[in-house]
Amino acid sequence: MSKAKVIFDTDAGTDDAWALITLLRCEEKYNIELKAITVVSGNTNVKHGCQNILLILKTMNRLDIPVYAGAADSLLFHSYFKHGHYHGMDGLKDVFRPEEKPSLDLVQKKHAIEGLRALIEENPNEITIFAVGPLTNIALLYKMYPEISTKIKNLYIMGGNHQGIGNSSRTAEFNFHFDPESARIVLDESKCSVLILPWEPCLKACFATPHKEWRFKVLNSINNEIIEFMDKIEIDVQFRKSFCPCDAYLVCCFIFPKMIKKVSEFNVNIELSGEFTRGQMVLDHKLLMKPNATIIEEFDVEMFKKILLWVCGHEIDI
């Protein structure tokens, strides 16, 4: 059976790290081939993002996977963002010394957009892209090569919201709020199948169980380099109310489709010009237009926890 070919497009925050580690751990057993990682500005800038990804790959002994640098900023500049420093100055909580970080020379010379294009052209209708940061890279890819999305198999997006609940502004989720124009372009122009995991089911999962306690007690009851690495970069999660590995939820929904409990299909778009609603994902509740996306409304948190235990090395059946 042929492998599922995937590309991981990421802004290299801590939940991106969980997602990437999950992908790498599952590659062999679940017949996946991670073809490349493309980095985009968001949680941190694109240079730090590349470094963080290389650091994860080094930890996982997988520096063989090609890493490409992508868009250095959102399409439009907005005064309300100057790179989220939500995850520290370097997007990984600033816990690594410069000498611990792999050299940026390991980053591919080609631009991420050219890298994406080449891989898609070489593997037509075979590639699934995980877009777990702002959608700038995907939008630029579409604007440079308008027909390319006909050759993408699936686009899995973590971003947006379906009930107007925001985490970056009143009504907008971070990834879409950081670059609303790119989100608009991707939702308007994708000719491939698009699946979206919005913020609300993630939010519900984070608070459904004492998720944070589980993270540090149950998950940490084993010790290895994954736990050690994630403990370092999630040091502040101990002082917060929740543990929210959104990007990893999405990756698990792909590898273990049973984890998805409820989906709906809608025509969705992005508000660009609202005073309060810029960046909000807007659903065609009146059902006047053809659906362009499948929305994950609910997923199985207990199953996710089992997967993550296995990813971290616990002996457990998923």
Residues in contact with a second copy by CB under 8 A are 71-73, 75-77, 111, 113-114, 136, 140, 143-146, 162-167, 169-171, 181, 184-185, 188-189, 269, 271-278, 280, 282-286
Q: Based on CB atoms, which residue is closest to a second copy, 76 or 89?
A: 76
Q: Based on CB atoms, which residue is closest to a second copy, 63 or 76?
A: 76
Distance in Å, CB of 86 to Ca ion, minimum: 10
Distance in Å, CB of 86 to a second copy, minimum: 13
> What, of Ca ion, a second copy, none, does residue 276 touch, CB below 5 to 8 Å by kind?
a second copy
Of residues 240-259, which lie at the interface with Ca ion (CB under 5 A)?
247
Among positions 5, 6, 11, 253, the unique one binding Ca ion when judged by CB under 5 A: 11
> What, of Ca ion, a second copy, none, does residue 11 touch, CB below 5 to 8 Å by kind?
Ca ion
Binders of Ca ion: how many residues, by CB under 5 A? 6
Q: Based on CB atoms, which residue is closest to a second copy, 277 or 294?
A: 277
Q: Does 173 bind Ca ion (CB under 5 A)?
A: no
Among positions 21, 132, 196, 253, the unique one binding Ca ion when judged by CB under 5 A: 132
User: DSSP for the chain?
Assistant: -PPEEEEEEE---HHHHHHHHHHHHHTTTTTEEEEEEEE-SSSS-HHHHHHHHHHHHHHTT-TTS-EEE--SS-SS--TT-S---TT-TTSSTT-S-GGGSPPGGGS-SS-HHHHHHHHHHHSTTTEEEEE-S-SHHHHHHHHHSTTGGGGEEEEEEE---SSS--SSSSS--HHHHH-HHHHHHHHHH--SEEEEE-HHHHHHHHHHTTHHHHHHHTGGGS-SHHHHHHHHHTGGGGGSS----HHHHHHHHHH-GGGEEEEEEE-EEE--S-TTTTT-EEE-TT--S---EEEEEEE-HHHHHHHHHHHTT-----
Name the site residues for Ca ion (rule: CB under 5 A): 11, 13, 16, 132-133, 247
